[in-house]
A and B are shown apart, each in its own frame.
Chain A
């Protein structure tokens, strides 16, 4: 039970979302996965999955990801649900706890989807109050995840990234940067994905999510659907590279919720994330050494800008060999990076 669990810190490397088809294999194989993330709502009962997670928690650091708190609900938080979340935290002692910048409860109904907010001062006050309530209850900082959206509200007075930055300033919360969500929303609502990432306060980002998405054509509208049902596509790897170049290594989760593949595919995606991060950080060290030696070299494109392969990390290595990645200013994370992590 909870009191027996030792704190296990989540490393700045890749982990996987624990999904029910993999639980039995995880228990028998105990594969090398940096850490695990689970949906909090799936562990609020007392089924066999809860018992399995107790066994896995002895081995793996854990991130607890809530999907049902509805932090953006103007009607306030469900106190019973928050208490259940507290109990799950107490039981499993996760190293990270996260939720979404979204609402899913209104008019007495839970919609089982994450809906966008109208980004304005009223919503900011409400979400900040709700986040503070959660942090007070859990006695810890929580990470708030950006949303994948298909529409927005015409009366918003700021964008989502500005809203998140202000939320961090008001509440001291952290951020969970979902790179796939940034890409999906940027495409669907037509804004610059990299600019979104650049607005976020880098120090606040405590975790990154990566996933695949689907492309739907509805008439003339090409809409990206955040279905977590496929490999991380090259365009999302490229945006991840941009994020890592700016933020430094971060705990990175491979999310895969629909059409869940065999466990090794998920572990393979996590390995790609680790290798890409290693490649970026290696390139940055090379660049720093070269800059120190006062031998300026022409800036080369980032590894993914010319990538057309389905295996982007290998392309990243090829690009890294061809020339250093000259990114923006180095972040303080570099000195802490450990390739063996």
Chain B
């Protein structure tokens, strides 16, 4: 008789349809064929995890057709099953996996759109903190370069492809132009959670760099310098006003930066 851990390993591989399968002699199912009953567990695992992926990547499903998506998902599940039961984390590796699928090699926008959708899924599972307004800091001296803290759900994505345009075209209520072509055009996208949904905006290079610096805690001065380097006409005041208007600022702190910075 196998030790329980060995038995469970064998069963787990069988459920994921990885050879060799568990011996029928170990199983019983009344008068039924136990291996046929094992297929119920195989199907439960594959179909439930496929449903998780379809919920996270709805536009990707529409881009590649549902049957093909289900095929790719089942391969992903077999090769990369979840490593934990918190399924909100399952799917992070799916966009990268899509890039390895031969059939999709000539339409890279599929994996890129999936990358955008995973960022949306992450944002939706992240806290939305109370936003601060500019008025809150009317009479406070914040020093020359305060730290601006942004919503933790903020995600910044840059792609060589028009991912936001594709994503937007596939939202409910949006008429999809069947004749549109997927264009190789860089898009920089900021997205964050707003209640039950996400807000997505396109950014130019300078604004993207500015928000990127703030998101990574590099400070206002660093962000402004990077933005100016990319666009000498970068308007810091307008950029700050937009941050507050977008309800992205959760705190502003006076910080003493080290001289080495």
Which residues on A are within 8 Å of B, measured CB to CB?
41, 44-48, 51, 67-70, 72-75, 78, 80-81, 84, 103-113, 115, 117-118, 122-123, 126, 150-155, 188-190, 218-219, 221, 223, 225
8 A Cβ contacts from B13-66 to A: 13, 15-16, 25-34, 36-38, 40-41, 44-45, 48-49, 52
Bits for B1-15, please: 1 = Cβ < 8 Å to A, else 0.
101110111011101
Interface residues on chain B, number (Cβ under 8 Å): 48
Task: Assess whether A45 is in contact with B1, with CB atoms less than 8 Å apart.
Answer: no
8 A Cβ contacts from B76-120 to A: 81-88
Chain B: CB-nearest residue to A127: B4
Task: Assess whether A46 is in contact with B15, with CB atoms less than 8 Å apart.
Answer: no
Partner of A108, one of B32, B83, B85, B88: B83
Partner of A41, one of B11, B36, B86: B86
Partner of B126, one of A45, A111, A153: A45
Chain A: CB-nearest residue to B34: A151
Contact partners of B44 in chain A: CB under 8 A = 112-113
Which residues on B are within 8 Å of A, measured CB to CB?
1, 3-5, 7-9, 11-13, 15-16, 25-34, 36-38, 40-41, 44-45, 48-49, 52, 81-88, 124-128, 193, 195-196
Task: Assess whether A190 is in contact with B125, with CB atoms less than 8 Å apart.
Answer: no
Query: How distant is A204 from chain B, measured CB to nearest CB, in Å?
Result: 24
Task: Assess whether B85 is in contact with A46, with CB atoms less than 8 Å apart.
Answer: no
Chain A: CB-nearest residue to B5: A74
Contact partners of B124 in chain A: CB under 8 A = 47-48
Chain B: CB-nearest residue to A105: B85
A67→B85 CA distance, assembly (Å): 8
* 10 closest Cβ pairs, A-B complex: A68-B85, A74-B5, A46-B127, A106-B12, A45-B125, A190-B30, A109-B81, A106-B8, A74-B4, A110-B82
Contact partners of A70 in chain B: CB under 8 A = 85
Pairs across A and B, CB under 8 Å, 19 listed: A44-B86, A44-B88, A47-B126, A48-B124, A48-B195, A67-B85, A74-B7, A75-B5, A75-B8, A106-B8, A106-B12, A107-B9, A110-B85, A111-B15, A112-B82, A112-B87, A151-B28, A151-B38, A188-B32
With A153-B27, A188-B29 as known contacts, state yes or no: A109 contacts B11, CB within 8 Å: no
Query: How distant is A80 from chain B, measured CB to nearest CB, in Å?
Result: 7
Task: Assess whether B29 is in contact with A74, with CB atoms less than 8 Å apart.
Answer: no
Query: How distant is B79 from chain A, measured CB to nearest CB, in Å?
Result: 11
